Amino acid sequence: MQLRRRQGGSKESAALRALTTSALALSGLARVAAADTPIDGVQTSYSFSTYAEDDLPESKGVPDTEHGRYEVTTQQARIAAPLTDHIDFALEVTHEKMSGASPWYNVPDAAGSPIQILSGPTIEDERNDFLLKTSYYLDNARLGLSGGYSDENDYTAMNFGFDGETHFNEKNTTLSGGIGMSFDEINPVDAETEPTRPTHETKQTYGLNIGLAQILNRRSLIQSSLSYAYGTGYLSDPYKEVYQELGAVYHPDMRPDNRHALSWLTRYRRHIEEVEATAHLSYQYYWDTWGISSHTIEASWYQSFGDSLQITPSIRYYTQNEADFYVSYLRNTPSDDEFSSDYRLSTYGALGFGIKAEYTFRTPWLIDVEWKLKAAYERYISAGDLAWDSPSVEAPGLVDFKVYSFGITAVF
Amino acid sequence: MLLARHPFRAMGSPCELHLYGGTRAFCDALVELAVAEVRRFERKYSRYRDDSVTSAINRSAGDPDGLVVDDETARLLDYAATAFASSDGLFDPTSGVLRRVWNLKSGRVPEPSELEAILPLVGWSRLRWEAPRLVLPQAGMELDFGGFVKEHAADRVAELCRQRGARHGMVDLGGDLAVIGPHPDGKPWVVGIRDPRSPEGAMASVRLGGGGIATSGDYERCMIVDGVRYTHVLDPRTGWPVSGLRSVSVVADRCLIAGTATTIAMLKGARNGALWLDELGLPNLRMDDAGEISGTLADAEAEAA
């Protein structure tokens, strides 16, 4: 026998809706959009990932078959714990090892199409990053403070952030906002032998964001946020050059010394009870004063199998148009003093496919521990033709890559 | 999988936890946790304990500054406010004070003058609730969480068990039931609904794979004076016991909502209670004063038979 509900489809009475909303505020369910207490228990996690770019196809450049293109292995350890009833903290330590050849400049082939030249000496670098975050929880709000330090051979960065969120409308609405800043110092290697490289530069980045999340009903949530970022100082890439055909001149990468950027992100989440899944959809629009605008659309499907296993396939499409000063190479002495042949500033589109599996289990024996194992794979391909408006000339350095990652989390 | 059954007494009622787990240790740990959570609610909201939140609130009656309550209590009060507003003022946690004149053990019907004297102390709209501050402006006013905290506790305990990894089980707090999850083979729990006039017998059985069920009946506490049955279900507007329904059971996604729906239906009486339950669209079973059984669950039972 099946229980028959008389609420034919979506016709729920106003009284039941009001009671349900209020009852949900009493339970953990409403916390999807609201965090008002420190985390329970100590969370520790470790993750490992490898990022590997595909070799450059021979039609686009001269692949470095010995070392391959860029590769990064990342290890991250994180611990988060409550300190008091109102305060928690998290410490994150990241170690990255980078190696491989990366795009340097483009030269024209016999037909005038750009060919990517990769950096001659293979880059070999390590980066260490520390991030400390603390949150203070009030009755209906959270305030957060963070500080980070990142150090590599030729680069150091210090960053600070302050953010907060508050709930109202019976915790159905969450307003959040934050400010952040980063102070970076760049000391390029081989500046003595490479005439286009500066020896010491700095840059500063400031950011501001504001967001609103609204629980629409028991099953769905919408979030929207607006971010503004301002960067000033040396925003160029010291390891890139622009080739000038006339006279075979190599210019340093020269970008404007400031950039204002705006981005608007909207996310929608819907739980589909019948199949134990949650669909996530998001759209982001980005615009900056360098003339770049981009659109990102992403869809993920969080499928639960019972309560321990969750498998999440996702797909993402990205398209951008080039910066005002992007050139694949210069034919003549430039009249302007801003130019870059960084493929990331060109017109292109990209597709990303990912699949993630997460397995949760408990070992309640000696001490109760909840474990989470995660494995994920992502494939990303980019090409000029994938852009909404295909470019007249595709940047030869456009990258395809794969990422494998594994993680383990224990909550005590 | 093994099934642990743990009967215990709390909140003035017989309670039982039914829990499936892979190991005995897992079940034991969860039972301990669940019982502790029920006791926490009991301590926190008991009318009989001086150190409870309820007592602190009631002691503050008459103090124009009132008191500041914790977040959990605030959400319960928000819920009560919603239930009050959704029921035209019938669901009213301030009505407990009427027990001072309706002593069901005394076998005495109060004088109209006694009721007149006490009614000014009843009425959710008389108190001021601006989270987190609660003010009971009149000395003698009382707040009673008894009408909904047990149902909420059942939901909370079921949720807690699920958070701790339980998948199959049921929480029964004196007939207020919240399902953790169906039996391991996916079959629903079969819950008997007590016949109000023969408490040992069941008038119907309900299959429950999730959510909760609550039952409110006049058999719980009542007195009969000169052949008239006076129940513990008191109309906060008149101060008089209501009649019309002997028992109401409601199934909802949460036991709390089911419990609120039964209380409001009892207060609305046979006809209006039935109309209101239909409007809510929740599966329900009712027995009226004439012993007539109706409601969507009765129809389903009849169909299955």
Rounded CA-CA distance A98/A126 in Å is 6
Q: Which residue does chain B place closest to A6, by CA atoms?
A: B281
Name residues whose C-beta falls within 8 Å of residue A236's C-beta, 6 or more positions apart in sequence.
A252, A253, A254, A255, A340
Mean pLDDT of the B121-144 span: 93
Do residue A6 and residue B251 have CB atoms under 8 angstroms apart?
A: no
Task: Specify the CATH number for the domain of residue A94.
Answer: 2.40.160
Q: Are B217 and B196 in contact (CB under 8 A)?
A: yes
Considering CB atoms only, which of B82, B155, B279 is closest to A27?
Answer: B155
- Among residues A69, A46, A92, the alpha carbon closest in space to that of A402 is found at A69
Whether A6 maps to a domain, the answer reads: no
Taking only the tens place, the pLDDT of each residue in A48-62 is: 999 999 988 888 887
Do residue B79 and residue A5 have CB atoms under 8 angstroms apart?
A: no
Q: Which residue does chain B place closest to A138, by CA atoms?
A: B71
pLDDT at A27: 65
Rounded CA-CA distance B240/B258 in Å is 24
Mean pLDDT of the A348-366 span: 90
Shortest distance between the Cα of A273 and any Cα of chain B, in A, equals 12
Residue B207 tokens, joined: 């299959």
Q: Are B274 and B299 in contact (CB under 8 A)?
A: no
Whether A8 maps to a domain, the answer reads: no
Q: Per-residue DSSP letters for B265-293?
A: HHHHHHHHHHHHHHHHT--EEEEETT--E
Q: In the structure, what pLDDT confidence band is assigned to residue B199 with cuts at 50, 70 and 90? A: low
Mean pLDDT of the B218-228 span: 75
What value does the mean pLDDT of chain A take? 88
pLDDT at B219: 66
Q: Which amino acid is present at A105?
A: Y
- Among residues B232, B237, B201, B239, the alpha carbon closest in space to that of B218 is found at B232
Whether A4 maps to a domain, the answer reads: no
Rounded CA-CA distance A225/A177 in Å is 9
Q: Which residue does chain A place closest to B25, by CA atoms?
A: A365
Mean pLDDT of the B218-237 span: 80
Rounded CA-CA distance A293/A388 in Å is 12
pLDDT at B291: 86
User: Domain of A227?
Assistant: 14-411
User: Domains in chain B, ordered, with CATH?
Assistant: 2-42+148-304 (3.10.520.10), 53-143 (1.10.3980.10)
Residue A148 tokens, joined: 């980070």
- The residue among A334 and A65 whose pLDDT is bigger is A334
Q: Are B294 and B286 in contact (CB under 8 A)?
A: yes
Considering CB atoms only, which of B29, B260, B281 is closest to A5?
Answer: B281
Lowest mean pLDDT among A347-356, B47-56, B223-232, B271-280: B223-232
- The residue among B87 and B103 whose pLDDT is bigger is B87
Do residue A23 and residue B254 have CB atoms under 8 angstroms apart?
A: yes
Do residue B304 and residue A1 have CB atoms under 8 angstroms apart?
A: yes
pLDDT at A123: 63
pLDDT at A110: 84
∠B222-B225-B229 over CA atoms, to 5°? 45
Asked if the model's pLDDT at residue A185 lies above 50, the reply is yes
Whether A3 maps to a domain, the answer reads: no
pLDDT at A83: 87
pLDDT at A32: 37
Shortest distance between the Cα of A411 and any Cα of chain B, in A, equals 12
Rounded CA-CA distance B120/B114 in Å is 11
- Can you give the length of chain A in residues? 412
Residue A384 tokens, joined: 């000029």
Q: In the structure, what pLDDT confidence band is assigned to residue A5 with cuts at 50, 70 and 90? A: very low
Lowest mean pLDDT among A159-163, A193-197, A405-409: A193-197
What residues of chain B lie within 8 A of the CB of A5, using their CB? 281-283, 296
Mean pLDDT of the B176-200 span: 86
- The residue among A23 and A339 whose pLDDT is bigger is A339
Rounded CA-CA distance A363/B17 in Å is 22
Q: In the structure, what pLDDT confidence band is assigned to residue B305 with cuts at 50, 70 and 90? A: low
Rounded CA-CA distance A232/A227 in Å is 17
Q: Are A326 and A338 in contact (CB under 8 A)?
A: no
Rounded CA-CA distance A262/A67 in Å is 37
Lowest mean pLDDT among A133-142, A165-174, A373-382, B288-297: A165-174
Structurally, chain A folds into a number of domains equal to 1
Residue A369 tokens, joined: 């521990």
- How far apart, in Å, are the Cα atoms of B226 and each of A59, B100, B101, B112, B233? 102, 21, 18, 17, 19
Asked if the model's pLDDT at residue A29 lies above 50, the reply is no
Mean pLDDT of the B170-176 span: 94
Taking only the tens place, the pLDDT of each residue in A320-347 is: 999 999 999 999 988 888 999 999 999 9
Q: Per-residue DSSP letters for A238-300?
A: TT-EEEETTTTEEEEPB--SEEEEEEEEEEEEEEEGGGTEEEEEEEEEEEETTS-EEEEEEEE
Mean pLDDT of the B221-235 span: 81
Asked if the model's pLDDT at residue A65 lies above 70, the reply is no
Q: Are A262 and A352 in contact (CB under 8 A)?
A: no
Q: Which residue does chain B place closest to A22, by CA atoms?
A: B79
Whether A9 maps to a domain, the answer reads: no
Lowest mean pLDDT among A163-172, B144-153, B214-223, B265-274: B214-223
∠A266-A272-A274 over CA atoms, to 5°? 175
∠A83-A88-A89 over CA atoms, to 5°? 105
Asked if the model's pLDDT at residue B162 lies above 90, the reply is no
- How far apart, in Å, are the Cα atoms of B302 and each of A184, A200, B204, B286? 75, 85, 10, 14
pTM: 0.59
- The residue among B299 and A228 whose pLDDT is bigger is A228
- The residue among A12 and A192 whose pLDDT is bigger is A192
Do residue B79 and residue A23 have CB atoms under 8 angstroms apart?
A: yes
Considering CB atoms only, which of B281, B301, B303 is closest to A6?
Answer: B281
What value does the mean pLDDT of chain B take? 89
Mean pLDDT of the A275-287 span: 94
Taking only the tens place, the pLDDT of each residue in A116-157 is: 988 865 567 899 999 999 999 887 889 999 999 999 989 999
Asked if the model's pLDDT at residue A6 lies above 50, the reply is no
Phi, psi of A97 (to 5 degrees): -125, 120
Q: In the structure, what pLDDT confidence band is assigned to residue A2 with cuts at 50, 70 and 90? A: very low
| Residue B70 CB neighbour total at 10 angstroms | 12
Q: Best mutation site among A17, A26, A86 for testing chain B: the one with the most B CBs within 10 Å?
A: A26
Quick one: residue B12, left, alpha or beta (phi over 0 = left, psi -120 to 50 = alpha)? left
- How far apart, in Å, are the Cα atoms of A213 and each of A67, A224, A227, A371, B119? 46, 6, 15, 29, 43
pLDDT at A404: 97
Asked if the model's pLDDT at residue A16 lies above 90, the reply is no
The alpha carbon of residue B103 and the mean position of all alpha carbons in its chain are separated, in whole angstroms, by: 20
Parallel, antiparallel or unpaired: strands B133-135 and A87-100: unpaired
**Strand ranges for A169-217 from DSSP E:** 173-186, 201-217
- Residues of chain B above pLDDT 70, percent: 97
The alpha carbon of residue B7 and the mean position of all alpha carbons in its chain are separated, in whole angstroms, by: 19
Whether A29 maps to a domain, the answer reads: yes
User: What is the DSSP code (8-state) at residue A7?
Assistant: S
CB pairs under 8 A between A and B: 106
pLDDT at B80: 96
Residue B217 tokens, joined: 């009946």
Q: Which residue does chain B place closest to A25, by CA atoms?
A: B75
Whether A7 maps to a domain, the answer reads: no
Whether A2 maps to a domain, the answer reads: no
Q: In the structure, what pLDDT confidence band is assigned to residue A280 with cuts at 50, 70 and 90? A: very high
Do residue A28 and residue B159 have CB atoms under 8 angstroms apart?
A: yes
Q: Per-residue DSSP letters for A333-368?
A: --SSS-BB--GGGS-EEEEEEEEEEEEEEEE-SSS-
